[in-house]
């Protein structure tokens, strides 16, 4: 079997190596923090050799909850990672010159090993960062940990933390998609597997990467007696009413009344363009209901927390049973939030 790299594989190796060189000077990851007292947000940018962004501000906040301060000098990763990335890029250029398909595949395997190991190390760092707290910190919440999400959104007290690849990280991910996609296509060609349109393999892999950026989440369980409504700030006590709004970044807004949910949406919190899903509590205790597909009923007999007096049902039959009991009136989601 021919072990010589094709021109296209040489081109892929060469361009991937150049892309990895670019990663050395670009931020690879970012963690965005938002809170009412910081409406403009705070950002931590993680490069291959340092931490950038609002490091001093974040360190000042960390002091209050006992988290360790962040300093580039404390991480051995910032010493070795530039050599790993640079070495991988140099090997790619060498692979291009040697032209061996086996070495090319081994080089791609090395890339996957680096990517996998890096994510494990990043998770380990986040875990230690969020769990190893100073027992003498001014603010202590029993059982609370402050580990940022590996990817996606997580609420940490009054701060929302959003973790996502930055420019360098997306280049790194794109290189991985191209390399893996090329291997799949090359293998199919060499083994004479019936060809599939290129648009199936590589875009499929790319969509997996892109889906991580949105990290869309569904509705989250309500902790009655603990959670508070994001609009009226009242604690959740009534289990038959309310809803949640999920954003494309994975943040979940909780509301104890459909009235609160609608008023918050009309106020632009969150903005319509940022919404990935709107869910309502099923009056009869079933699973969460998609707001657009739910059957709604208004009745003054419900006495919901903020007097919105709207209940949601999974189907028309369930709604009509309550309609006969409460003597209310049917309503659609479009009427509430056009």
pLDDT at 184: 82
SS3 content of the chain, % helix, strand, coil (to 5): 45, 20, 35
Bridge partners of 165, per DSSP, are 29
User: Which residues have C-beta within 8 Å of that of residue 1, sequence separation ≥ 6?
Assistant: 190
Ordered by start, the domain boundaries in the chain are 7-214, 243-336
pLDDT at 194: 54
Q: Is the four-CA dihedral 65, 71, 72, 77 of positive or negative sign?
A: negative
Residue 69: name the closest of 54, 55, 87 by CA.
55
- 131: number of Cβ within 10 Å: 12
pLDDT at 202: 47
Instruction: For Cα atoms 115, 118, 119, give the angle at the middle one, nearest 5 degrees.
Output: 90
pLDDT at 48: 93
Task: State how far the alpha carbon of 258 is from the alpha carbons of 229, 241, 295, 316, in Å.
Answer: 11, 7, 13, 19
pLDDT at 103: 93
Reading the block at residue 88, the tokens are 């991988």
Q: Which residues of the chain carry a pLDDT beneath 70?
A: 1, 39, 192-217
pLDDT at 193: 56
pLDDT at 201: 44
- 194: number of Cβ within 10 Å: 5
- 236: number of Cβ within 10 Å: 20
Exposed/middle/buried for residue 209 (C-beta within 10 Å: 0-12, 13-18, 19+) = middle
Its pTM surpasses 0.75? no
User: Sheet of 295-298: strands edge to edge?
Assistant: 310-313, 295-298, 329-331
pLDDT at 334: 93
In tens, the pLDDT along 261-283 reads: 999 999 998 899 989 999 999 99
User: Sheet of 159-165: strands edge to edge?
Assistant: 51-53, 38-46, 29-35, 159-165, 152-156
């Amino acid at each position: 079997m021919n072990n010589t790299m094709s021109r296209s594989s040489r081109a892929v190796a060469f361009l991937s190596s150049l892309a990895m060189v670019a990663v050395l000077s670009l931020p690879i990851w970012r963690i965005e923090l938002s809170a009412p007292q910081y409406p403009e947000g705070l950002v931590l940018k993680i490069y291959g050799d340092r931490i950038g962004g609002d490091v001093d501000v974040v360190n000042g906040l960390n002091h209050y909850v006992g988290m360790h301060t962040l300093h580039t000098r404390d991480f051995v990763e910032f010493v070795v990672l530039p050599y790993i990335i640079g070495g991988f890029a140099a090997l790619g250029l060498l692979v291009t010159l040697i032209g061996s398909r086996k070495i090319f595949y081994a080089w791609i395997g090395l890339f996957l090993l680096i990517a996998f190991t890096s994510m494990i190390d990043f998770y380990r760092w986040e875990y230690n960062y969020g769990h190893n707290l100073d027992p003498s910190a001014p603010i202590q919440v029993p059982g609370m940990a402050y580990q940022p999400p590996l990817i996606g959104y997580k609420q940490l007290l009054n701060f929302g933390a959003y973790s996502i690849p930055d420019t360098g990280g997306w280049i790194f991910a794109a290189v991985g998609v191209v390399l893996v996609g090329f291997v799949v296509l090359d293998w199919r060609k060499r083994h004479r597997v019936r060809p599939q349109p290129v648009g199936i393999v590589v875009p499929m892999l790319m969509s997996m990467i892109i889906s991580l950026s949105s990290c869309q989440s569904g509705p989250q369980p309500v902790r009655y007696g603990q959670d508070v409504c994001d609009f009226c700030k009242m604690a959740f006590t009534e289990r038959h009413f309310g809803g949640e709004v999920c954003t494309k970044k994975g943040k979940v807004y909780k509301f104890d009344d459909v009235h609160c949910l609608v008023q918050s949406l009309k106020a632009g919190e969150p903005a319509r363009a940022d919404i990935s899903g709107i869910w309502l509590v099923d009056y009869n205790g079933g699973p969460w209901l998609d707001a657009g597909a739910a059957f709604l009923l208004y009745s003054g007999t419900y006495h919901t927390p903020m007097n919105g007096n709207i209940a949601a049902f999974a189907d028309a039959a369930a709604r009509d049973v309550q309609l006969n009991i409460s003597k209310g009136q049917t309503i659609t989601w479009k009427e509430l939030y056009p």
